[in-house]
Amino acid sequence: MDIMKLANEGRLFTFLKEIESTVSVIASISSSPFLLAEAGLLKGRKYTVGMLEGDRGETGVFESGNYSDN
């Protein structure tokens, strides 16, 4: 599945923003952290994602300084 196809799903991002304040942990796998970043949930937080550095940069939603491969 091409995760970028979900980039314009406003209802999904609204949902993610709404649940952020009601949970203590939100987890995702593979390239789905893109969805969390697009919703703004990764701002200022460490993250890892199954995307190459260049691909992360192309999305425009990941803070490169917060990427962790540990």
Nearest CA among 67, 10, 2 for reference residue 38 = 10
CA 5 to chain centre: 14
Residue with the larger pLDDT of the pair 11 and 7: 11
Confidence band for 12, pLDDT divided at 50, 70 and 90: confident
Mean pLDDT value of segment 25-47: 87
Whether the per-residue pLDDT at 4 is higher than 80: the answer is: no
Whether the per-residue pLDDT at 65 is higher than 90: the answer is: yes
Nearest CA among 61, 22, 60 for reference residue 45 = 61
Contacts of 50 (CB under 8 A, 6+ apart): 29, 30, 31
Confidence band for 62, pLDDT divided at 50, 70 and 90: very high
